[in-house]
Every structure is written in C-alpha cells, then in structure tokens.
Structure 1
Amino acid sequence: MYRRIFERILWCGLLSAALWCAGSVRAAEDSPAEPDPRPAQDAAAAPDAGAAPDRLWDRANTAYVNGDYAGAIAIYESILDRGLASARLYYNLGNAYFKEDRTGKAILFYRRALRLRPGNEDVRHNLEVAEARTKDDIESIPEFFLTSRLREVRRTMGCTAWSVLSLGFLAAAVACLLLFLLARPLALRKAGFYGTLAAAVLCAAATWFAVLERRGMLRRDEAVVMVASSAVKSSPDRAATDLFVLHEGTVVRVTAELGDWAEIVIADGKKGWIETRKVEVI
C-alpha cells in the first residue's frame, strides 16, 4: 500500500513539472555550440543560407572578436531567423548591438537572455551598463520589501531549475512520510512528521517559483523603445496632446493595443499611447 502511495505522489510531481515547463524550456536549453577559438577566414562574409547553425555560430563569434559587429549581428540574426534561440545567442546579440551603440536593441536582447537565464550575472551586469546609457531617469513605484526580496530569490534560477528542485523536495517529503509511517521509535516518527511538513512547504515554494518564472518567460506585455525619442500621446492619434517623451532603451509595459497604437505604462505609473512601430516586445 505504501509503495503505491509513493509511486502515485512521485508520478504526479513529475507530470506537473513537465507540464509547467513544456514548450518554453526546450527552447531555453537548446543552445548553440561553444564558440570555436580558431579564426574562420570567411567570418566577415554574408551569412550562408545553407550553412549549419554551428558553423554560423562560429563565424558570428569570429566576426565579433575581429571587431566586425555589424557582420556578427547579421549572422546572429540569421540564426534567429531559423527559429533557433537561446540565452547565449541573445546575450551575444546584445553585446554586438551595444558595441554598435544601438542601446535599444542591446537592452531588448539582454532582457530576452535574462528571461531564459534569470540568474546569469554577466547578462544582468551588461544590462545595467546598457540601461545606464538611457536618457530617461524614471523612478519606480515603491513596493513592499518582502515582495522585492522574494523576486530576487526567485530570479536566482530559471523555471527548469526550480522544477527540478521541487521534485527533490517532493522526494524528500515522501521519504519523510514513509519514515513517519513505518518507523517504530518515537524520535524517528517525530523527525519524519516535521521533515514531511518542512519538505512539503519547500516543495510548494519551489513549485510556485517555477510557475512564476515560466509566466515571466512567456509574458508579452513588456517592450523596449527602439527610436531615439518619441512623444507619448494622450490618445491613439498623432494629433493628440503630448504627455511626455521617451527615449531609446526605456522599458515600458503594454496594457492595450488599438490598430497601430499601443497603450503603455512606465515604471512611475504614467501612461499614454505610442505607435507600435516605435517599440519592440521583449
């Protein structure tokens, strides 16, 4: 009987974790090969439509090392056009755009990389450097300190890592439960009981973090301003009143869309309308 209970609980946990991260995790883990340290003679050439992704990856990295950032961008983008994506690819694209002084694009791809690798310190550092170049100094609305702290903890790992950790806590909870049910000494039964409670709480927390990270990975309501400057209107009309001006690289939240216009909200709570062609969704 206990064996059946154990198997059912374990399989439920495995199935739940698989469902939470299905689809998005596969793209996040499918990274291109590591850069080849040997220089490629044709690195600056135009991307070959028939070349293998690994070969394009090597050529793009070599072009970047040789200072041909525009060529590296073209090759990296050709890899994206094939439907391939990874945190490493987004990170390299962000670096190349940063070198080309295209701050908006750099921030866009750094943020995409962070969605797949939220705990990557290199990406986070480069993002901070790129955001320091933006002209808009917008103060965020203060939030409860515990909310900020929990978000920091959650972003130390991605959806996959939290899912695996939740399964580990689930296995620990089952083991402690069996100890509580089968052990005869009172001390072991107490240890099993309290261990089950602790592992169950940690399993629930890790599971919730995994769900939140997956939601964050798939959200489509954040965008980056791509033009040098743009006036935000009071309504979706070019003749409407200008409310404020945003510059390249500023991150906004899209709350609604109407034709060629998007209603946005910035970090301090101000909202207005901007043409969709002037922003790009993260």
Structure 2
Amino acid sequence: MRIIALLLLCCLSNISFSQNDQIFSEANSLYNDGKYAEAIDKYESILDTEQHSAELYFNLGNANYKLNNIAPSIYYYEKALLLAPNNKDLQNNLAFAENMTIDAIDEVPKVGFSRLTNNLVNTFSMDTWAKIAVGGVLLFVIIFLTYHFSYTSSKKRVAFVVSLISLFVAFFSLAMSFQKESLNNKNNPAIIFAQESRVKTDPNPASEEVFRLHEGTKVQVLESYDDWRKIQLSDNSIGWIPSTDIKLLKVF
C-alpha cells in the first residue's frame, strides 16, 4: 500500500509540474503581448502550488516593473536573487527597479576586524565551507597514515607537518561554516510594501514617530512583537513598523 501511495504521489507531482509548465508558457506569452497584469496572475497561480524558481520570480519582477509596481518588482527580484545570487541580469534589473524608490539611505560600511571577518566568511557558502572541512579531515587521515607507515625520518617530518596543516584547515573551515550559518540566521530582509509607512520608537501606534519609509525600501527585521516588526536600515537606523507594511523575503 505504501508503494502504491508513493507512486500516486509521484504521478500527481508530475502532473502538477506539467500543468505549471503550461501555465508558465501561457504567462510568458501574455507578457510578450504586453498583458502584464494577466501574466502576473498566471505566474502567481504557479506560486500557489508552492513551486518556486529564480526564473519564475524574475519574470514576476519584470512584469511588475513594466506596470511600475515598485515594491512587488523589487520584492520578486530579491526573491530570485536568493535562489540565483550570481545572476547578472537579476542584479541589473534590481538596480533599475531600485532607482524608482523614494528613500535614499546611506549604507554604513563595516571597518577593521569586522569587515575582514565578514569578507572571509562570505568567501564561500556554508555548504562549501563544510565540504572543505570534510576534505581537510580526510586529508589529515590519509597523511597521518602515511606518517605512521613511513620509515624515513624526512618523510615522517613532511607528513606530520602536512597532517597538522590539513587538520587546521578542517577546524578553520568548520568554524567558518558555523559563522556563515549564524550570519544567515541573522539576515532577515524584508521589503516595504506600504506606499508610506511611519516608523515608531516602540511597537505602539501612539508612540513617537522617528522617520518614514516608502514602498520598495529594503530593511532588516530584528525581532517581532504582536503585529509589529523591529527593523534596521542600512544606515543603522532602528524603529518599529506594522507587520502589514512589509513582506519578508525569506518566506517561500
């Protein structure tokens, strides 16, 4: 019975993917005909089936950009970049969309040891750092066995040094992998969807207003409280905003 259930599930999944491919093609045709709103409806119907891809988000961003929908176009380009971070077309289109935003927020650069550490950690992905760590351990085992079974002192010295280096690389890469995971967990970006949002000092409508943000601006969400989100801008400004005014990027 379990095998039959799995076969049925696979068949249903294949049918769903096939239908989504057809809808995607129809949406592309609508886009090419300049029917951007209709194309968006088609693309979003694919998202309703919980199928996600960089190409789908890219096309959604393009369709919204054509309609001058600032927040949705930036939102979907950013979502696509999460899945394809090195795509140059995505990066260029996002830059064009960001030119439509009102808020001009300076970015505070990291300096000193913090900058050096972040640059080093971001050299590779978390998985790549983990693979390097595993490779270092395997190399250590192989070289250590070479050291153990070598008969000449010169070979033993070389094997000993190389084994220590490989072990250091393994532990260092493991530490970088954990640090990368920590940075990823802290990174919780969101896009302002309200045409204008009043940022408060506290999660309370009656609290003092500190500044205002407009649609399309990217923020970092630090914490949540009831229907409020504590946000931080690239210039390190902090405040509270209604959760309905933003959309989280990492929610798929």
Aligned twin of 1:270: 237
Which runs of 5 or more residues in structure 2 are unaligned?
Answer: 1-15
Instruction: Give TM-score scaled by structure 1 length.
Output: 0.67
Report matched runs for 1:166-181 at 5 Å: 166-181=133-148
Report matched runs for 1:229-240 at 5 Å: 229-240=196-207
User: What SS does the corresponding residue of 1:263 show, helix, strand or coil?
Assistant: strand
Q: Does the aligned pair in 1 maintain the 2:190–2:246 contact within 8 Å? A: yes
> In structure 2, which of residues 78, 83, 95 is the aligned counterpart of residue 111 of structure 1?
78
Shift of residue 277, structure 1, vs aligned partner:
0.9
Query: Whole-Å Cα distance in 1 between the matches of residues 99 and 144 of structure 2?
Result: 51
Aligned twin of 1:193: 160
Amino acid at match of 2:229: A
Which runs of 5 or more residues in structure 1 are unaligned?
Answer: 1-48
Shift of residue 278, structure 1, vs aligned partner:
0.9
Q: Is 1:136 aligned with 2:136?
A: no
Shift of residue 268, structure 1, vs aligned partner:
2.0
Report matched runs for 1:143-182 at 5 Å: 143-152=110-119, 154-155=121-122, 157-182=124-149
Q: 1:280 to 1:150 in 2, by over 3 A?
A: same
Query: Whole-Å Cα distance in 1 between the matches of residues 144 and 114 of structure 2?
Result: 32
Runs of 4+ in 1 over 6 A off after TM superposition: none
Amino acid at match of 2:215: E
Q: 1:187 to 1:107 in 2, by over 3 A?
A: farther
Q: Does the aligned pair in 2 maintain the 1:119–1:158 contact within 8 Å? A: no
Q: Does the aligned pair in 2 maintain the 1:114–1:120 contact within 8 Å? A: yes
Shift of residue 226, structure 1, vs aligned partner:
0.8
**Residue range with higher mean Cα deviation, 202-211 or 256-265:** 202-211
Shift of residue 164, structure 1, vs aligned partner:
3.6
Q: Is 1:245 aligned with 2:236?
A: no
Q: Does the aligned pair in 2 maintain the 1:115–1:216 contact within 8 Å? A: no
Measured against aligned partners, the alpha-carbon deviations of 1:209-240 in whole angstroms (never above 9, x if no partner) come to 44455555566732110122222123334444
Q: 1:61 to 1:246 in 2, by over 3 A?
A: same
Aligned twin of 1:15: none
Taking only aligned residues, the RMSD between alpha carbons, in angstroms, comes to 3.2
Q: Does the aligned pair in 1 maintain the 2:200–2:209 contact within 8 Å? A: yes
Aligned twin of 1:52: 19
Measured against aligned partners, the alpha-carbon deviations of 1:112-161 in whole angstroms (never above 9, x if no partner) come to 33333444444334333333332222223332245445544554554444
Query: Whole-Å Cα distance in 2 between the matches of residues 119 and 149 of structure 1?
Result: 22
Query: Whole-Å Cα distance in 2 between the matches of residues 255 and 154 of structure 1?
Result: 21
Q: Does the aligned pair in 2 maintain the 1:57–1:75 contact within 8 Å? A: yes
Percent identity, aligned pairs only?
29
Aligned twin of 1:5: none
Instruction: Give TM-score scaled by structure 2 length.
Output: 0.74
Q: 1:141 to 1:61 in 2, by over 3 A?
A: same
User: What SS does the corresponding residue of 1:188 show, helix, strand or coil?
Assistant: helix
Q: Does the aligned pair in 1 maintain the 2:187–2:220 contact within 8 Å? A: no
Q: 1:140 to 1:214 in 2, by over 3 A?
A: same
Query: Whole-Å Cα distance in 2 between the matches of residues 116 and 94 of structure 1?
Result: 14
Aligned twin of 1:222: 189
Shift of residue 280, structure 1, vs aligned partner:
0.7
